[in-house]
């Protein structure tokens, strides 16, 4: 059998699966960063930022699950160890951040990194004629571009 369960050529999916696993790793590190912002933010914007960070990490949980399930759909195995996440993530840990504006700057930086990485995933997926993966990450890009604009507006 040369095709996977959804009719795509198995040999063509290895690059897509690798890119998705790297993206999955970046999402996990970003999720942990956003949880840290939620827990540790202090200052005059505490109430609004605390709530916004919770909304974002809740959304990230769903996206992490969708990305992992896409890897499985394509016939791969999603990465699932923190050591793998640390090794394959394009996003670095952002520890001990308490100032609201610094949290938002870290959030914007992380979103920008995810957007760039997702554009690369989309290009590789389209090359492999994997429209499902391209559509999935393109939808995330649209949502995150708006968030970058909104959080940058907050920063002034």
The 10s digit of each residue's pLDDT in 119-140 is 999 999 999 999 999 999 999 9
Q: What value does the mean pLDDT take over residues 23-36?
A: 98
DSSP letter (8 states) at residue 53? H
CA atoms within 13 A on the CB side of 60: 25
Q: Name the token pair of 125.
A: 């997926």
> Helix or strand or coil: residue 1?
coil
Q: How many CA atoms lie within 13 A of 66 on its CB side?
A: 15
User: pLDDT tens, 51-64?
Assistant: 999 999 999 999 99
pLDDT over threshold 90, residue 1: no
Q: Look over the chain and give the mean of its residue pLDDT values, rounded to a whole number.
A: 96
Domains in the chain with CATH codes: 13-155 (1.20.1260.10)
Give me the pLDDT at residue 142, please.
98
Q: What is the pTM of this model?
A: 0.95
């Amino acid at each position: 059998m040369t095709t996977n369960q959804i009719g795509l050529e198995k040999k063509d999916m290895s690059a897509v699966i690798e890119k998705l696993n790297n993206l999955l790793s970046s999402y996990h590190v970003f999720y942990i960063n956003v949880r840290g912002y939620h827990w540790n933010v202090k200052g005059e914007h505490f109430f609004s930022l605390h709530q916004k960070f919770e909304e974002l990490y809740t959304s990230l949980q769903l996206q992490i699950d969708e990305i992992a399930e896409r890897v499985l759909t394509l016939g791969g195995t999603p990465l699932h160890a923190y050591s793998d996440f640390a090794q394959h993530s394009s996003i670095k840990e952002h520890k001990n951040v308490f100032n609201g504006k610094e949290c938002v700057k870290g959030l914007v930086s992380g979103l920008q990194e995810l957007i760039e990485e997702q554009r690369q995933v989309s290009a590789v997926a389209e090359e492999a004629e994997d429209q499902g993966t391209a559509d999935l990450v393109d939808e995330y890009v649209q949502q995150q571009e708006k968030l970058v604009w909104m959080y940058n507006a907050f920063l002034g």
